[in-house]
Amino acid sequence: MRLFIRRWYDFGFVAGLLTIVFLMLNWQNLDVMVRIQLLSFMALCFHQFEEYHFPGGEPAIINRVFQHKNTIPGLEDRYPLNQFSAMLVNSLYTFVLYFLPAFIPNVIWFGMMPILLGLAQCLLHGIVANKLLKTYYNPGLAACLLLHLPIGIYYIYYVTSNHLATGWDWFFGFTYTISAFLILLNWMTYKVLPNTATKYPFEAKEMQRFNMDQRVKELFNK
């Protein structure tokens, strides 16, 4: 369990690779909606690997930049985000909310959340994160532009052109997406799970990836 808490994004990367193999072997036998949901699951696996491992730096981006005013000096490696909270929230998203829609593709509104959140990530990484970091690239942006964006565009095209979604599907889909974001990514991450005495601080290498020490110095002149 401890290994998974510390290396969940590497396990996710392997899950993404296995998903590619599965899709290659079974593509012709899968419903289009199942294909799309599995591609979306794969995209999130690679997205998280890009954020946390290569090039990485997401722990420092969140604790030292996004939450700069809320962190505690000297505890940036564990507050407000720590290894356990990052693992729990991201695993719930990946292996539950993103994976389950592949098994119930006909419940259209339920499968909208992974797609809509993937498109929202494009805005978050493409505009918000780049503005805060004063960069043109940040970890996670490549997966957004190369995977989430085309998958999302095709999903919307396929669903609308085949009249698969009703107005209620879109309503519940957007409501579900916003609720999942507010509860998991906001409330749980920043209100429930922060713990200054956590046993799971990020490792030094996780905090230093993407040259974050130097970037923080340049951003805040320290």
Give per-residue pLDDT as tens, 140-172.
Answer: 999 999 999 999 999 999 999 999 999 999 999
Q: How many CB atoms lie within 10 A of CB 177?
A: 20
Q: Which residue range is the domain that position 84 belongs to?
A: 2-220
List, for residues 22-75, the tens digit of each pLDDT value: 999 999 999 999 999 999 999 999 999 999 999 999 999 999 999 998 989 999
Distance set, CA 86 to CA 151, 163, 186, 202 (Å): 25, 37, 12, 10
Identify how many contiguous H helices and E strands the chain contains and give both numbers: 11, 0
99: closest CA among 45, 164, 153, 180?
45
List, for residues 7-19, the tens digit of each pLDDT value: 999 999 999 999 9
| φ and ψ of 38, to 5 deg | -70, -35
For the chain, the domain total comes to 1
| Alpha carbon distance 160, 126 (integer Å) | 26
Which residue do the tokens 């690779």 mark?
17
Q: How many CB atoms lie within 10 A of CB 9?
A: 25
